[in-house]
Amino acid sequence: MLDLAQLDRPMAARLARELEEVKIIFERQLASELSAVNGLCVHIEQYRGKMLRPTLVLLSGLSVLGDEPLTPAHRTVAAVTEMIHMATLVHDDVLDEAEVRRRGATVNHLWGNETAVMLGDYLISNAFHLCSTIGDPAINLALGEVTNTLCEGELAQLHHRDDFGLDEATYLEIIRRKTASLIGACCQLGAQLAGAPTATTAALGRVGIALGIAFQIQDDLLDLLGNEAVVGKTLGLDLSKGKLTLPVIAHLSEASPAQRATTLRALETGDATTVRTALRDSGAVAYAQTAARRFVDDARAELTTLPASPGRVLFDSLAMSVVARDR
């Protein structure tokens, strides 16, 4: 993912400074009188990677505002989106029984599912509490709709567990909801808070949705083929949890009956090596990589409808980094 520190550009430096402010808001909001709570919040700070979602709120704002300053609401919404994201990760690791995230032990692995469920609840509750301080019900409504949508995505994913007939359209709908809905809202709200015209706000919302879909396809490719030491989280969980991802879906829909039977047997018996080989050899991995790149291309094409600016250039680099990442 894009590393702002590596980019010697005034816009990257400005964004990095703004993100530091967001971290302060984030930490202040979660601070509790109870050390039992603070210990958990300190632990999940390691989950914070490159802060993609806050970055998109700020960058969307900057792409509209140019040299004008961001509003305080931009920073608050940025912190809220990171809190929502972290709540979903803490709960997701319970569902996936994951042991490692961001190179450290998951909350469920260290303290058990009860603590992880409650910490996720604490995060989501604080996210909406913090959001309410802005005093704009439209933002709460928009983010409430997002959390509804991402829960629907997760529920649909659970419904299709071990569904070897899952089609590409349904998979895309699931990841649009569980991942892209929040990323789309980050871009849309960043533009909206900057006072962008409706057409620009909608365009940036579409940029975020396309990037979010590309992000999740790449995440699924890393889960299938990545190196756990590099990615820094437990991998192979999609196969072991019966979540069909794009390479598997593409392979099963195109394979000969004999090949399909072999792959289905490997999926049912948990023979991940045979599954990976079949997906690579049949071109299904390449198919998914191309699909992810196509969503990034869509996002980049939509970005060109914004006026040229340093913010837009940085946004474009970030868009490309979504599929170039190996972690």
Question: Using the rule CB under 5 A, is 219 a contact of Mg ion?
Answer: no
Question: Using the rule CB under 5 A, is 18 a contact of Mg ion?
Answer: no
State the burial class of residue 68 (Cβ atoms within 10 Å of its Cβ: 0-12, 13-18, 19+): exposed
What's the CA gap between 297 and 292, in Å, rounded? 9
In this chain, which of 92, 208, 285, 296 binds ligand FPP, going by CB under 6 A?
92
Minimum distance between the CB of residue 274 and ligand FPP, rounded to whole angstroms? 22
Residue 166: strand, helix, or coil: coil
What's the CA gap between 20 and 13, in Å, rounded? 11
Minimum distance between the CB of residue 237 and Mg ion, rounded to whole angstroms? 6
Question: Using the rule CB under 6 A, is 124 a contact of ligand FPP?
Answer: yes
In this chain, which of 96, 192, 282, 319 binds ligand FPP, going by CB under 6 A?
96
**What single string gives the DSSP state of each residue in 107-148?**
HHHHH-HHHHHHHHHHHHHHHHHHHHTT--HHHHHHHHHHHH
Minimum distance between the CB of residue 211 and ligand FPP, rounded to whole angstroms? 13
Return the number of the residue (75 or 233) whose C-beta is nearest Mg ion.
Answer: 233
Amino acid symbol at 96: D
Residue 77: strand, helix, or coil: helix
Question: Using the rule CB under 6 A, is 179 a contact of ligand FPP?
Answer: yes
What's the CA gap between 160 and 18, in Å, rounded? 40
8 A C-beta contact, residue 259 and residue 281: no
Scanning 71-79, 84-92, 112-120, 276-284 for contacts with Mg ion by CB under 5 A, the matching segment is: 84-92
CA 89, 216, 226 angle in degrees (round to 5)? 90
Report residue 244 as tokens. 């069909």
Site string for Mg ion, 89-118 (x = CB under 5 A): ---x---x----------------------
Return the number of the residue (21 or 96) whose C-beta is nearest Mg ion.
Answer: 96
8 A C-beta contact, residue 15 and residue 4: yes
**CB atoms near residue 129 (< 10 Å):** 12
154 binds, among Mg ion, ligand FPP, none (CB under 5 to 8 A by kind): ligand FPP
Return the number of the residue (63 or 149) whose C-beta is nearest ligand FPP.
Answer: 149
Return the number of the residue (14 or 243) whose C-beta is nearest Mg ion.
Answer: 243
Question: Using the rule CB under 5 A, is 302 a contact of Mg ion?
Answer: no
What's the CA gap between 120 and 107, in Å, rounded? 10
Q: HSE (CB half, 13 Å, CA atoms) of 294? A: 6
150 binds, among ligand FPP, Mg ion, none (CB under 5 to 8 A by kind): ligand FPP
Give the interface size with ligand FPP as a residue count (CB under 6 A).
17
Length of the chain equals: 327
What's the CA gap between 236 and 48, in Å, rounded? 22
Minimum distance between the CB of residue 233 and ligand FPP, rounded to whole angstroms? 6
319 binds, among ligand FPP, Mg ion, none (CB under 5 to 8 A by kind): none
Minimum distance between the CB of residue 31 and ligand FPP, rounded to whole angstroms? 20
Scanning 49-57, 61-69, 93-101, 287-295 for contacts with ligand FPP by CB under 6 A, the matching segment is: 93-101
What's the CA gap between 86 and 130, in Å, rounded? 15
Could you list the residues that contact Mg ion (CB under 5 A)?
Answer: 92, 96
Could you list the residues that contact ligand FPP (CB under 6 A)?
Answer: 87-88, 91-92, 95-96, 98, 120, 124, 147, 150-151, 154, 178-179, 219, 223
